[in-house]
């Protein structure tokens, strides 16, 4: 069966969005990742020097001094991704406008004039929250390192710590860079979708949800949905699975549907009958999931993938709340400055 021209265009648009996503993720996380790599290198070098070898244990006063020094190094880590994220959001906005006009023209419509792109409110909020999330994760990383010196001792009554334990504790600090990466990818996709919706609304078209190749069950349930460009898609669509948190039934959303979602919305000027493109996409999604109606026969692998997505989203929401709580507590105590994004 021949691939519709709009889907071919959507694939090219998705590839361009993916390229921008990789660029911003690299640029936004590179400074902190570089510091973390150097932190690991110094931590290993100091451990070998203090313990006498990588396979030896470290305890006593030497362990206390080592952990204090390592905690101080984590305290000195800084991250300032906001400027990069906001700049890339502007690029994603302009990209979304251009892609929307290309899709409208490809369907024989008249594209709307380009106007100065507006940043999505959710994007601005996500960029504003990333500093607190990063600071909270670095603080937790420091606490994990300091905690290595606490607890019961070994056979001789003295606590011994191996390099493996130190390296494991440092992974918590490394998750700070991951949080920047996750935010960067979300910002690109969300801002692009918001700009496509704005441009499509001005052109008098509707939006069509196109699922990424191999997308999860939650996103497959959105495949082929057509929605108003002014209101977005109804989030309660699903195949026999509970709605994706935190969207309550009736919520109106745009891609991305969850962290790491690569679905896109494109302008659509055609019909919505069973033989039209949206109907074809919905049938393909139903076949992929194993049930055209209730979703009770969703393949186990697909259902498990959806549950992993849901669990990952819930964990991301937990870390975001934790970041906000940690930030408020330490700002109140005078231990953290959000302006400098310095970890206490």
Domain extent at residue 54 = 5-332
Distance CA(344)–CA(331), nearest Å, equals 10
Residue 344 lies in a domain: no
Residue 343 lies in a domain: no
Distance CA(7)–CA(14), nearest Å, equals 10
Sequence-ordered alpha helix ranges (H) in 82-162? 82-106, 121-147
Long-range Cβ contacts of 297-304 (<8 Å, 24+ apart): 298/217, 298/239, 298/240, 298/241, 302/216, 302/217, 302/220, 303/217, 303/241
Residue 341 lies in a domain: no
Q: What is the pLDDT of residue 84?
A: 93
Q: How many domains does the chain have?
A: 1
Tokens encoding 147:
């905690």
Distance CA(299)–CA(228), nearest Å, equals 31
Q: What is the pLDDT of residue 4?
A: 86
Q: Which residues of 160-178 are buried (b: 16+ CB within 10 A; e: fewer)?
A: bbbbeebeebbebbbbbbb
Residue 16 has pLDDT above 90, yes or no: yes
pLDDT tens digits for range 241-263: 544 555 566 677 889 887 788 99
Mean pLDDT of 229-240: 73
Give the residue with greater pLDDT, 78 vs 311. Answer: 78
Residue 94 lies in a domain: yes
Distances (CA, A) of 205 to 37, 65, 235: 48, 65, 20
Q: What is the pLDDT of residue 111?
A: 93
Residue 264 has pLDDT above 70, yes or no: yes
Residue 183 has pLDDT above 50, yes or no: yes
Residue 339 lies in a domain: no
* Lowest mean pLDDT across 183-192, 201-210, 293-302, 325-334: 325-334
pLDDT tens digits for range 276-316: 999 999 888 877 766 444 444 555 665 565 566 555 555 55
Residue 327 has pLDDT above 80, yes or no: no
Residue 337 lies in a domain: no
Residue 340 lies in a domain: no
Share of the chain above pLDDT 70, in %: 76
Residue 286 lies in a domain: yes
Q: What is the pLDDT of residue 252?
A: 79
Q: What is the pLDDT of residue 300?
A: 62
Mean pLDDT of 104-125: 91
Upstream peptide bond of 256 is cis (omega within 30 degrees of 0): yes
Distance CA(3)–CA(253), nearest Å, equals 27
Q: What is the pLDDT of residue 309?
A: 55
Residue 2 has pLDDT above 90, yes or no: no
């Amino acid at each position: 069966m021949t691939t519709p021209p709009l889907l071919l265009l959507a694939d090219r648009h998705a590839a361009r969005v993916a390229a921008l996503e990789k660029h911003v993720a690299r640029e936004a996380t590179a400074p902190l990742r570089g510091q973390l790599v150097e932190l690991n290198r110094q931590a290993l070098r100091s451990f070998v020097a203090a313990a006498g070898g990588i396979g030896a244990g470290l305890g006593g006063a030497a362990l206390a001094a080592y952990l204090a020094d390592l905690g101080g190094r984590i305290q000195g880590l800084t991250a300032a991704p906001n400027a990069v994220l906001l700049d890339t959001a502007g690029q994603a906005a302009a990209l979304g406008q251009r892609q929307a006009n290309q899709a409208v023209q490809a369907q024989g419509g008249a594209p709307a004039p380009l106007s100065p792109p507006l940043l999505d409110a959710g994007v601005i909020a996500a960029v504003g929250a990333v500093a607190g999330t990063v600071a909270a994760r670095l603080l937790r990383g420091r606490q994990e390192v300091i905690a290595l010196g606490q607890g019961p001792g070994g056979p001789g009554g003295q606590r011994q710590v191996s390099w493996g334990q130190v390296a494991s504790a440092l992974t918590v600090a490394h998750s700070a860079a991951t949080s920047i990466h996750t935010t960067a990818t979300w910002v690109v996709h969300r801002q692009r979708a918001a700009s496509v919706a704005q441009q499509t609304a001005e052109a008098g078209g509707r939006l069509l949800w196109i699922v990424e190749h191999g997308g999860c069950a939650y996103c497959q349930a959105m495949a082929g949905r057509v929605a108003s460009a002014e209101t977005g898609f109804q989030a309660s669509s699903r195949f026999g699975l509970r709605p994706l948190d935190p969207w309550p039934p009736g919520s109106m959303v745009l891609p991305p549907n969850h962290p790491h979602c690569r679905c896109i919305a494109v302008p659509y000027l055609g019909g919505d009958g069973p033989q039209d493109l949206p109907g074809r996409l919905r049938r393909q999604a139903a076949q992929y999931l194993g049930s055209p109606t209730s979703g009770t026969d969703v393949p186990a692998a697909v259902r498990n993938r959806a549950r992993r997505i849901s669990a990952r989203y819930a964990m991301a929401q937990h870390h975001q709340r934790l970041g906000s709580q940690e930030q408020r507590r330490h700002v109140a105590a005078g231990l953290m400055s959000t302006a400098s994004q310095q970890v206490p």
